[in-house]
A and B are shown apart, each in its own frame.
Chain A
Amino acid sequence: MRKFIVSLAAVAAMAFGAASSANAAGGVHSPQEKWSWTGFFGSFDKASAQRGFQVYQEVCSACHGLDLVAYRNLDALGYNEAEIKAIAAEATVIDGPNDEGEMFERPAKPSDRFVSPFENENAARAANDGAYPPDFSLLVKARATGHGNIPYNFTQWMAGRGTASGADYVYALLTGYDDTQPVAEGKYWNAYFPGHAISMAPPLSEDAVEYADGTPATLEQMSRDISTFLAWASEPELEQRKSMGLMVILFLVVLLGLSIAAKRRRWANVKK
């Protein structure tokens, strides 16, 4: 048994090693926020995610795409079929060719993916002074950090925070602008962007949206909400994953108990 514990320690040590590998673009550590979906039982705060979606629709979607998410996926946030149809219909997609061999425009359907604001990366850059507003579908996962600092990273992940550090970053970025700092022409100073000079003007300001549910639209509130929405967009399977994980782990723990008992009985007559 002692040997076994030693080997488990070895596994842990290797996992520690893994942490050191994932060294992301060395920015400033974003402060750790409290999110509803962390931990072993976490789930998305649907009201917040819906507000975040509203922020996305009214502000960010002018520049940022959401390529991998379909309108129908919004049902996970609590929108009903009619609402989703209406949301989709606001966008226009190019379809075809029709019977005459021509492409045509039509309103988007729930089965379509979110329509991007720009045709392609070049168009996006052209509209943004050469800077590229990244697609939002995987942004939280792609910015998950906390790396480089091994004990911090390890405890974060083992506590079930997963990629929440990516949402910490989005929140910190949106609230991290400071226009009193000197910065190059066409750039904006941001405490959390690597290098501090970001090409995106502060996208949010007090009351940039008027929330349907009456929540006061402070900068912090909107930033939290959009971060929640983006976390969901990155990991739409999260809730299913965690609840299924619980069943699987419970099952395996019971199986472990049985297998230990069986092993003990089997070996009881073997003399050391």
Chain B
Amino acid sequence: MSGAPAPEFKNPVVRWIDVRLPVFTYIHNEYTGFPVPKNLNYFWSFGGMAMIALIGMIVSGIILAMQYTPHVDYAFESVERIMRDVNYGWLIRYIHMNGASMFFIVVYIHIFRGMYFGSYKQPREIIWILGVIIFLLMMGTAFMGYVLPWGQMSFWGATVITNLFSAIPVVGDFIVTLLWGGFSVDNPTLNRFFALHYLLPFVILGLVILHIIAMHIAGSNNPDGIDPKGPQDTVMFHPYMTAKDLTAIVVFVLAWAFFVFYAPNYMGHPDNYIPANPLSTPAHIVPEWYFLPFYAILRAFTEDSFLYIPISWLMDAKLAGVLAMFASIALLAVLPWLDTSKVRSCRYRPVYKWLVIVFTIDVLFLGYLGGKPAEGWYVTASYWATFWYFLHLLVLTPVVGWFERPKPLPASISKPVLDAAE
């Protein structure tokens, strides 16, 4: 945005097009002429990695869709035909299957980056909110994608999760029937999930574009959380960040390739290699790993949970769990207003820094608990971990913002803290 002079294109074809449709000027201004703080670390490469993941998912998904049959009698077998009979079908399928996990890993780290360095704060609130919506849609997409191969976990995961909506008063049953297209998870469910699974990634793509447009207005945040004061504080996105992001993306693709070629089923559940059987319930129904923290929050609202007892006069435990699960994500969207501190980066926030780290550990711990059966100490632990999740967002974040004494901010990105005396 900030005005690099309009470029002079040497290539006459480029110039001819650019006069009529200024795409090249646009690309130039947004990338070659887009200044970013020069102190960005590799945490700032996770957005680029997520973009690669999204593109990889769309490309591999479209190829899968050419061979896949969304029918309860054929879905499982059509996926196995892809694995066995389609040339390199196993490769495409494993790219897609592990790509979902890789996508969530980078997006989780991307979100953590935003929380730690305060990227959600003024003037980047809309970028952040768009991100939370993208995250929600990703969860919806991945959930419906997981149903498509029609294995045991596909079927029972779909049954458990869609049933949650029945807890919503008045319209709940209507929503569930609408999701199912009938009275249980069955062929119509599979069909609509396939249609939506094909659609949502493109909605995500659209939102990602808005996310990036908004980011080009405010510019990138940086590890110090202070605004660049001039050209001495920045480098151009291209070629500097592109060179750096490329390195990060190669590492990311390496990790992805490792899973695809050497541990393709590590992040999946073995029961999904058993065809769906409505008459036989698996011993433990567990969602995909990336849902586990939220699954743990859902399950933390049982009849005798200390989280539920105070609100038990208001609603039943199931509804409380569902609301808590949605609230746990919705609250992220309002984080810019929950955080009362003016200082962005946790580098200069001695107390909140530790709270963000503890919060991260808490989420990982919730994920661990979500994968365990609801028994013994796991249950008690998930009450407390859920309690901490909401305490962090609703109480600690605003209160610490009021009382914390931030460390002195550096005068500018290129000046160290010590000669802050200007």
Contact = CB atoms under 8 A, between A and B. Distances in A.
Say whether A and B bind each other: yes
Interface of A: 1, 3-4, 7, 10-11, 13-15, 17-26, 40, 68-69, 73, 134, 137-138, 141-145, 147, 157-158, 160, 162-163, 166, 234, 236-237, 241-242, 244-246, 248-249, 252-253, 255-256, 259-260, 262-263, 266-267, 270-272
Given A69-B84, A255-B250, 4 more contacts: A15-B266, A23-B372, A241-B90, A259-B250
Contact of A4 (B42, B265, B414): B42
Given A7-B42, A142-B271, A259 B246 contact: yes
B7 interface: no
A137 B80 contact: yes
Interface string B69-90: 0000000010010011000001
B286 A22 contact: yes
A7 B284 contact: no
B269 A245 contact: no
A18 to B, nearest CB: 4
B127 interface: no
B160 interface: no
Interface residues of B, number: 64
B367 interface: yes
Contacts of B109: 7, 10-11
B283 interface: yes
A23 B270 CA distance: 9
11 contacts: A7-B42, A14-B367, A21-B287, A21-B370, A69-B84, A237-B90, A242-B261, A245-B261, A256-B247, A256-B251, A263-B243
Nearest to A238: B90
B240 interface: yes
Interface in B36-52: 38-39, 41-43, 46
Contact of A3 (B43, B258, B264, B368): B43
Nearest to A154: B266
A263 B45 CA distance: 13
A266 B371 contact: no
Interface in B107-156: 108-109, 112
A138 B262 contact: no
Contacts of B261: 241-242, 244-246, 248-249
Contacts of A3: 41-43, 223
A248 B262 CA distance: 12
A270 B235 contact: yes
Contact of A11 (B91, B244, B255): B255
A20 B240 contact: no
A9 to B, nearest CB: 11
Interface string B249-290: 011011101101111111111110110000000111011110
A256 B240 contact: no
A209 B46 CA distance: 57
A223 to B, nearest CB: 21
Given A242-B261, A245-B261, A266-B243, A253 B254 contact: yes
B43 A7 contact: yes
A134 to B, nearest CB: 8
A160 B259 CA distance: 10
A131 B377 CA distance: 36
Nearest to A248: B257
A26 to B, nearest CB: 7
Given A3-B43, A21-B289, A40 B262 contact: yes
Interface in B212-267: 223, 235, 239-240, 243-244, 246-248, 250-251, 253-255, 257-258, 260-267
Contact of A142 (B91, B251, B267, B273): B273
A157 to B, nearest CB: 4
B292 interface: yes
Contacts of B105: 11, 14-15
Contact of A245 (B247, B262, B266, B273): B262
B112 A10 contact: yes
B94 to A, nearest CB: 8
Nearest to A266: B243
Contact of B254 (A147, A241, A249): A249
Nearest to B268: A22
B243 A249 contact: no
A157 B266 contact: yes
Given A23-B372, A249-B254, A162 B84 contact: no
Nearest to B235: A270
Contacts of B22: none
A68 B77 contact: yes
A35 B243 CA distance: 43
B27 interface: no
With most chain B CB atoms within 10 A of its CB, the pick from A69, A246, A270 is A270
A267 B243 contact: yes
Contacts of A253: 254
Contact of B273 (A138, A242, A259): A138
Pick the 7 closest A-B CB pairs, nearest first. Answer: A245-B261, A21-B371, A18-B289, A142-B273, A4-B42, A20-B371, A237-B90
